[in-house]
């Protein structure tokens, strides 16, 4: 039998992903763009509701407080998304609340000086102000690293090989947000997962007026159907005698958001009072800001590929991190309860819809701001059960992770050096954070448990993040193990031209600032 030809068994590497209907600077019709923007808004609600729902009761807050925090988080998220798409990386990324800040926030919530406050509302306000102060100080890390171009200098050490585990674990590292939550209410979660995959993949060629309606709007259609199904189960009394936890995950009327939401409320800076500052709280929060920076870097790399753009040059990446630091500063001033990062699920949705348009994301930011102000309408959509979002995450987080794996095409995976770096950084990136999670669940505190709370928060936050551990291991190994002789194996020949803005003519098309601002801020 004749041996297969090389071109029949291999595919040439491509620095831009093919097969998208709309890339970063091409736009669907206004009607389609508005519907797609609303779809991104619905997806962003998951994290925006989950974080305050988990944290506000621990702080002594009421349902009214929870609704105000959700509104504030969405409002500031919309502002940050507009800022990032206009003046930051200019990639089509939604900026939302981050789970990376949980360790220092939980440390503040359990601070003895705050838990000693007997009045729940006063304790909530005092805790919120302490978190605000820590976020304001912590934001300086990203602002300094971004605008000083220090992050640009550091990112020049990134190769495709080093970025594979980082970007992949931005998705894979969130596995506990997926099926473990779906399993809390399988009668809703599993049908949602099946329906979303069926619409977006198996029925994607179904068209209406030459628009692949099921592929493009699989999330909206499947959410509407399963939400109606969940409401039917709730109204029929299917969960009446089930445990409270099951009801929280399955029922559509347990969030108490609609009744507690005001009709109109505009969030404003310092609405909870003047922030309070504590050096220990601020230092712990700085670790979360570093984690957010690393996770966002991986998400920006994935977004550029799913928007069919070239990898962001070091200057652009650093510029985006600087603006993200401004976003965390706004989080602290407004009181969103957590810091900002790139929404990984919304990055995945770019690939699922095959629409990487910047305009769509800017429209979604408009929806975030609009429905944050009109509280009752926003609360209606925010009452979607968490399980529905978790089912979507199973697909979208996996899609982002696969983008990280796609960077392997630029590397030589027949090299033992490459196999060693990828394998070790993947394994440690999953194993070390899992150790920290299991230890914390059993001992009710992290492995670092000294008398210095700020030190504990710093280590427990850094090593609890899969992308952060992967970056530390992968970038260190990639730049110390025979790196001079292995430039081609590492894929540096593919990415070298993207180190600088002028290294590739396509960068100007994707990343130039609007309103001719490049005259005042010339790219390096």
Determine the Cα–Cα distance for residues 220 and 462; give it in Å rounded to an integer.
36
The pLDDT assigned to 416 comes to 94
Residue 255's pLDDT band, with cuts at 50, 70 and 90, is: low
Among the residue ranges 68-77, 106-115, 486-495, the one predicted with the least confidence is 486-495
Sequence-distant (6+) residues with CB within 8 A of 285 are 101, 104, 134, 135, 137, 138, 339, 457
Comparing CA positions, the residue from 17, 84, 24 lying closest to residue 359 is 24
What does the DSSP 8-state code read for residue 173?
Answer: T
The pLDDT assigned to 383 comes to 80
Residue pair 215/199 in contact (Cβ under 8 Å)? The answer is yes
The pLDDT assigned to 3 comes to 63
Residue pair 489/135 in contact (Cβ under 8 Å)? The answer is no
Whose structure tokens read 């193990």? 481
Among the residue ranges 183-187, 411-415, 449-453, the one predicted with the least confidence is 449-453
Mean pLDDT, the chain, as a whole number? Answer: 90
Residue 244's pLDDT band, with cuts at 50, 70 and 90, is: confident
Per-residue pLDDT, averaged over 447-465, amounts to 90
Asked if the model's pLDDT at residue 121 lies above 70, the reply is yes
Q: Specify the higher pLDDT residue, 3 or 206.
A: 206
The pLDDT assigned to 9 comes to 61
Residue pair 77/368 in contact (Cβ under 8 Å)? The answer is yes
pLDDT in tens, 146-174: 999 999 999 988 999 999 999 999 999 99
The pLDDT assigned to 209 comes to 79
* Half-sphere CA count of 315, side-chain side, radius 13 A: 17
Alpha helices in 116-174 (DSSP H): 120-147, 150-155, 160-172
pLDDT in tens, 330-369: 999 999 999 999 999 999 999 999 999 999 999 999 999 9
Residue pair 352/395 in contact (Cβ under 8 Å)? The answer is yes
Asked if the model's pLDDT at residue 211 lies above 60, the reply is yes
pLDDT in tens, 39-66: 999 999 999 999 999 999 999 999 899 9
Helix, coil or strand: residue 95: strand
Comparing CA positions, the residue from 33, 251, 162 lying closest to residue 489 is 162
Asked if the model's pLDDT at residue 135 lies above 70, the reply is yes
Asked if the model's pLDDT at residue 4 lies above 90, the reply is no
C-alpha R_g of the chain: 23
Comparing CA positions, the residue from 25, 23, 32, 46 lying closest to residue 368 is 46
Instruction: Give me the count of residues in the chain.
Output: 524
Asked if the model's pLDDT at residue 205 lies above 90, the reply is no
The pLDDT assigned to 344 comes to 95
Determine the Cα–Cα distance for residues 300 and 309; give it in Å rounded to an integer.
11
3-class SS letters over 382-394: HCCCHHHHHHHHH
Report CA dihedral (511, 517, 521, 524) to the nearest 10 degrees.
Answer: 30
Sequence-distant (6+) residues with CB within 8 A of 420 are 477, 481
Q: Specify the higher pLDDT residue, 495 or 119.
A: 119
Asked if the model's pLDDT at residue 10 lies above 90, the reply is no
Report CA dihedral (450, 453, 456, 458) to the nearest 10 degrees.
Answer: -150
pLDDT over 90, % of the chain: 68
Sequence-distant (6+) residues with CB within 8 A of 160 are 407, 408, 410, 411, 490, 491, 492, 494, 495
Asked if the model's pLDDT at residue 7 lies above 70, the reply is no
The pLDDT assigned to 20 comes to 84
Report CA dihedral (6, 310, 420, 394) to the nearest 10 degrees.
Answer: -100
The pLDDT assigned to 8 comes to 63
Per-residue pLDDT, averaged over 468-475, amounts to 96
| DSSP output for 360-417 | HHHHHHHHHHHHHHSHHHHHHHHTS-HHHHHHHHHHHHHHHHHHHHHGGGGS-TTSHH
Asked if the model's pLDDT at residue 1 lies above 60, the reply is no
Determine the Cα–Cα distance for residues 240 and 278; give it in Å rounded to an integer.
46
Cα 18-21-24 angle, rounded to 5 deg: 80
Determine the Cα–Cα distance for residues 86 and 81; give it in Å rounded to an integer.
8
The pLDDT assigned to 257 comes to 75
Helix, coil or strand: residue 97: strand
pLDDT over 70, % of the chain: 96
Helix, coil or strand: residue 208: strand
The pLDDT assigned to 74 comes to 95
The pLDDT assigned to 523 comes to 64
* Half-sphere CA count of 463, side-chain side, radius 13 A: 19
Cα 324-375-114 angle, rounded to 5 deg: 65
Asked if the model's pLDDT at residue 108 lies above 60, the reply is yes
Largest CA distance in the chain: 82
The pLDDT assigned to 43 comes to 95
């Amino acid at each position: 039998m004749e041996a297969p030809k090389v071109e029949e068994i291999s595919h040439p590497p491509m620095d831009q992903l093919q097969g998208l209907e709309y890339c970063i600077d091409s736009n669907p019709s206004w009607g389609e763009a508005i519907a797609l923007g609303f779809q991104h808004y619905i997806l962003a609600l998951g994290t925006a509701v989950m974080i305050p729902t988990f944290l506000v009761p621990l702080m002594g807050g009421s349902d009214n407080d929870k609704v105000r925090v959700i509104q504030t988080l969405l409002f500031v998220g919309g502002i940050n998304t507009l800022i990032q798409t206009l003046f930051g990386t200019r990639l089509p990324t939604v900026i939302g609340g981050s789970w990376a800040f949980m360790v220092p926030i939980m440390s503040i919530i359990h601070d003895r000086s705050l838990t000693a406050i007997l009045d729940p509302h006063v304790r909530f306000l005092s805790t919120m102000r302490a978190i605000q102060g820590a976020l304001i100080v912590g934001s300086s890390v990203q602002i300094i690293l971004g605008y000083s171009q220090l992050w640009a200098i550091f990112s020049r050490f990134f190769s495709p090989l080093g970025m594979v585990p980082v970007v992949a674990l931005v998705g894979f590292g969130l596995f506990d947000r997926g099926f473990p939550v779906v399993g809390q209410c399988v009668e809703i979660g599993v049908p949602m997962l099946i329906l979303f995959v069926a619409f977006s993949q198996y029925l994607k060629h179904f068209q209406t007026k030459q628009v692949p309606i099921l592929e493009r709007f699989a999330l909206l259609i499947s959410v509407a159907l399963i939400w109606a199904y969940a409401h039917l189960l709730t109204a029929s009394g299917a969960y009446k005698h089930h445990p409270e936890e099951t009801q929280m995950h399955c029922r559509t009327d347990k969030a108490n958001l609609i009744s507690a939401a005001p009709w109109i409320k505009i969030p404003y800076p310092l609405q909870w009072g003047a922030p309070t500052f504590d050096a220990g709280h601020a230092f712990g929060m700085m670790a979360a800001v570093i984690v957010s920076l690393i996770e966002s870097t991986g998400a920006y790399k994935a977004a550029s590929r799913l928007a069919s753009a070239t990898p962001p040059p070091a200057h652009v990446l650093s510029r985006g991190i600087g603006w993200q630091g401004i976003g965390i500063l706004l989080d602290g001033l407004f009181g969103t309860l957590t810091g900002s990062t790139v929404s990984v699920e919304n990055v995945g949705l770019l690939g699922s819809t095959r629409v990487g348009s910047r305009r769509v994301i800017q429209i979604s930011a408009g929806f975030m701001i609009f429905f944050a102000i009109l509280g009752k309408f926003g609360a209606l959509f925010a009452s979607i059960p968490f399980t529905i979002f978790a089912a979507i995450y199973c697909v979208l987080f996996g899609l982002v992770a696969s983008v990280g794996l796609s960077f392997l095409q630029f590397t030589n995976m027949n090299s033992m050096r490459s196999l060693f770096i990828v394998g070790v950084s993947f394994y440690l990136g999953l194993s070390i954070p899992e150790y920290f999670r299991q230890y914390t669940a059993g001992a009710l505190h992290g492995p670092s448990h000294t008398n210095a709370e700020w030190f504990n928060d710093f280590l427990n936050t850094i090593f609890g993040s899969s992308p952060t551990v992967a970056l530390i291991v992968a970038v260190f190994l990639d730049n110390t193990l025979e790196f001079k002789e292995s430039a081609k194996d590492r894929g540096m020949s593919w990415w070298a031209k993207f180190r600088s803005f002028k290294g590739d003519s396509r960068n100007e098309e994707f990343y130039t600032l609007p309103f001719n601002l490049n005259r005042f801020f010339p790219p390096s």
